[in-house]
Structure 1
Amino acid sequence: MASRSSTSVWPAVHEERRALLADLADLPEDGWQTPSLCPGWSVHDVLAHLVDTALTTRLGFLRGMVTARFDFDRSNDAGIRKHRGNSPAETLAAFRLVQQRTSGPPAPLATRLVEAVVHGEDIRRPLGIDRTYPLDAVTEALTHQAETSVKLGGGRELVEGLSLTADDGAFRHSSGAEVRGSSLALLLAVSGRPVGDDELSGPGAGTFQDRLSARRSA
């Protein structure tokens, strides 16, 4: 599919931020410490990370990477420490202030959709919160992740030799043993997130899940 322009990506990102704000507005205090789908990060940590990336500029990103000695994980952890408020309410207020921003790390624009949807699920799934995301945004994010190396945050190596088919849209990728699932489930899996065995089907599903488990335990 053709990639979307900034005039369509940013409104979609802003809407996802608005929806996440609404979902977290009445979250009980203990819910904020729930482990997210990101290993080692709580729900509160993921929201702080979203504040950090929304405030990131190209120059700021480079400075942060130099300080972190070009270690992405160290840089991300530093951003969380910087923007994690003294209380969840403080971090939520900071996220509200960046809702309409159009800045971010120097990366393809589709990564903003990846972040909005995947980190949204990093928070929502452990909390038992359901959201129906716009299919075109999920499809573009999935297309980007399937074509991007694991080293850059994608999942190209995970899907090598497999055929991914979304059963709720037009997404098709590569060839080989088929793996079927919803666009959202495929996006999460390609992004290295755990998905239930009942969310993926087809002769390649077992291989895909094995690769995903190996990646998460590496």
Structure 2
Amino acid sequence: METWGKQRLQDAIVAERTALAEQLEELDEAQWSAESLCDGWTVEDVVAHLTAGATVGPARWIASMLAARFDDAVHNRRRLEERRGPTPAATLARFRSAAGRRTAASGHWPAWLGEVVVHGQDIRMPLGLPTPTPSDAAAQVLAFFVARDFAVSSRSAAAGLRMEADDADLALGDGPLVRGPAVAVATALAGRAAALPSLTGDGVPVLADRLR
């Protein structure tokens, strides 16, 4: 699998945000207030969080984390509340306005693509929405997740397992097999047990135990 450079990863991030925004246009009030796969966050909360991620650069991130005493939960909640609008329509408008931004808290662009991909699944899966994420973009996220614990403990979850994408040229690691669409494997490695039914292989029970 070809490893993408900064420009292509940034383009993929913008494309993911744009595709998600198009789907969000169709949501009704009940869907906006539905629980996402993120504990304690509604669909609207996740969208506001994604807007914050698109608009917080390194200096702002450091200042925010200092103010939060390096508590990620406090930092995320403050920035989420900052970007959430008075109505779902306003929250969506803010997300749309940030969709084309190429700002991130660090230069780990596969991780920031992963944030949009996984949080997109946090919204889509509970609502039963289709996933438009291209398999090659999801494969970039999966490769990063297997290689490194960053915002999520994905490398730890994948340790001693063989991860295979059945829709991309990607197979990583040795051990019991975990196989499925790249977006589903990546979402599971990000700690979302809801993605496990989309996976096959004798390594799936091992991964399920780790997610518990």
Q: Same fold (TM over 0.5)?
A: yes
Asked if the contact 2:56–2:103 (Cα under 8 Å) also holds between the matched residues in 1, the reply is yes
Closer, same or farther in 2 for the Cα pair 1:56/1:196, shift >3 Å?
closer
Q: Distance in 2 between matches of 1:97 and 1:109?
A: 20
Asked if the contact 1:37–1:194 (Cα under 8 Å) also holds between the matched residues in 2, the reply is no
The runs of 5 or more residues in structure 2 that have no matched partner are none
The runs of 5 or more residues in structure 1 that have no matched partner are 214-218
- One-letter amino acid of the counterpart of residue 144, structure 2: H
**For residue 115 of structure 2, what is the aligned residue in structure 1?**
115
TM-score, length-normalised on structure 2?
0.95
Closer, same or farther in 2 for the Cα pair 1:31/1:180, shift >3 Å?
same
Deviation readout 1:67-110 (Å, 9 max, x if unpaired): 11011121111111111111101111111111111001114111
**For residue 216 of structure 1, what is the aligned residue in structure 2?**
none
Closer, same or farther in 2 for the Cα pair 1:137/1:154, shift >3 Å?
farther
**Offset of 1:196 from its aligned partner?**
5.0
Q: Distance in 1 between matches of 2:131 and 2:203?
A: 27
Does residue 174 of the first structure (1) align with residue 173 of the second (2)?
yes
**For residue 132 of structure 1, what is the aligned residue in structure 2?**
132
Q: Distance in 1 between matches of 2:203 and 2:9?
A: 32
**For residue 20 of structure 2, what is the aligned residue in structure 1?**
20
**Offset of 1:198 from its aligned partner?**
3.3
Q: Distance in 1 between matches of 2:26 and 2:155?
A: 38
Asked if the contact 1:68–1:74 (Cα under 8 Å) also holds between the matched residues in 2, the reply is yes
Q: How many residues align?
A: 212
Asked if the contact 2:36–2:46 (Cα under 8 Å) also holds between the matched residues in 1, the reply is yes
**For residue 85 of structure 2, what is the aligned residue in structure 1?**
85
**Offset of 1:197 from its aligned partner?**
4.7
Closer, same or farther in 2 for the Cα pair 1:152/1:47, shift >3 Å?
closer
**For residue 61 of structure 1, what is the aligned residue in structure 2?**
61
Q: Percent identity?
A: 35
Q: Distance in 2 between matches of 1:197 and 1:144?
A: 19
Partner SS, residue 20 of structure 2? helix
Q: Distance in 2 between matches of 1:209 and 1:121?
A: 18
**For residue 47 of structure 1, what is the aligned residue in structure 2?**
47
**For residue 163 of structure 1, what is the aligned residue in structure 2?**
162
Q: Distance in 1 between matches of 2:25 and 2:113?
A: 22
**Offset of 1:195 from its aligned partner?**
2.9
Does residue 206 of the first structure (1) align with residue 205 of the second (2)?
yes
Q: Distance in 2 between matches of 1:105 and 1:2?
A: 25
